[in-house]
Amino acid sequence: MSLRRMLTGLFRSVEGTSDRAKSPELKTRYYQLGKDKLWDEVSSTLKKIPGYKVVHEVPSVGEILLERKSAFGRVMDITVSIVGTGPTRSAVDIYSATRGSLGDLGANYRNIISLFGILDKKLSRYKTTA
């Protein structure tokens, strides 16, 4: 993680992915799977990750809410969104926010990178570019 990301984390306590993200690590991930099949894969994978607790799932909307505690005891809320972009193509976005008013020192960024790393490894054969 860069020094710039760490300094930004002094003031920011949220991070999210999108198609327009400046950083390539924070770009939306696309997979050659229908929304329902991708939902099953992502949901089962997220439930197995130690340190993350699945709080709520809304299959009709395509959202999975996770919770994670930092080393300092702060709680981070993470939303994983699954959107169908076609009959056999879907996208995954992640939004992570730390409760409280202080910065997170890049913890939300690391959450997103970690989750995408796990999902990309599990779904590597289905991954496509934008």
Per-position b or e across 105-123, b if 16+ CB within 10 A of its CB:
bbbbbbbbbebbebbeeeb
Query: Is the CB of residue 96 less than 8 Å from the CB of residue 76?
Result: yes
What span, in angstroms and rounded, lies between the C-alpha atoms of 73 and 76? 10
Whether residue 17 has pLDDT greater than 60: yes
Domain count, the chain: 1
Q: How many CB atoms lie within 10 A of CB 64?
A: 23
Select the more confidently predicted residue: 129 or 125. 125
Assessment of whether the complete model's pTM goes beyond 0.85: yes
Range of the domain at 97: 3-128
State pLDDT tens for residues 83-119: 999 999 999 999 999 988 777 788 888 999 999 999 9
Domain of 53, CATH number, reads: 3.30.310.220
